[in-house]
């Protein structure tokens, strides 16, 4: 597999480089909260791209929150995951293939609550934007 591309955003690229250098997501945090590393496939380019996100795990599934800090637009990776829902997820030293699906209604509310519990700033991000922040659930590919 070709090396995935790093983010052009400094702090995101630095987090990713640290994970790749260490071989684990352990010890890499945002506001002392753990993260996981997702590898997506570009919607237009087809290139692999690294996306570190907050670790929100429940019963072997993970949430991926398209918050972009509460800005009016979705993060760039949102469109990649919609177009190519099969992703690679690294949690600690464990890596697996997952399928992402955007959730709505009660299921979204449950995952949103778990996400805010894992990373409280998500609640503030939602207040800052008029868009409903998308929530993806990533389940192991069978």
pLDDT digits (tens, 9 = 90+) for 13-52: 999 999 999 999 999 998 899 999 999 999 999 999 999 9
- Residue given tokens 């929530």 in the structure block: 135
Mean pLDDT of 53-59: 96
Give the pLDDT confidence score for residue 110 in this predicted structure.
98
In 10 A of CB 46, how many CB atoms? 10
H or E segment to which residue 101 belongs: strand 94-103
Nearest alpha-carbon partner for 138 in 36, 48, 45: 36
Give the fold, CATH level 3, of 10-140.
Answer: Pnp Oxidase; Chain A (2.30.110)
Prediction pTM value: 0.94
Widest distance between CA atoms in the chain: 40
């Amino acid at each position: 597999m070709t090396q995935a591309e790093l983010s052009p955003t400094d702090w995101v690229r630095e987090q990713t480089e640290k994970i790749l250098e260490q071989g684990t997501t352990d010890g890499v945090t945002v506001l002392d909260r753990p993260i996981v590393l997702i590898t997506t496939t570009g919607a237009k380019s087809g290139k692999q791209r690294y996306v570190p996100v907050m670790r929100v795990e429940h019963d072997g599934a993970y949430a991926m929150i398209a918050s972009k800090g509460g800005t009016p637009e979705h993060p760039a990776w949102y469109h990649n995951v919609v177009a190519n829902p099969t992703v690679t997820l690294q949690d600690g030293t464990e890596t697996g293939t997952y399928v992402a699906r955007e959730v709505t209604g009660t299921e979204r509310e449950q995952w949103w609550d778990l996400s805010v519990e894992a990373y409280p700033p998500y609640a503030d991000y939602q207040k800052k934007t008029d868009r409903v922040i998308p929530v993806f659930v990533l389940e192991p590919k069978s």
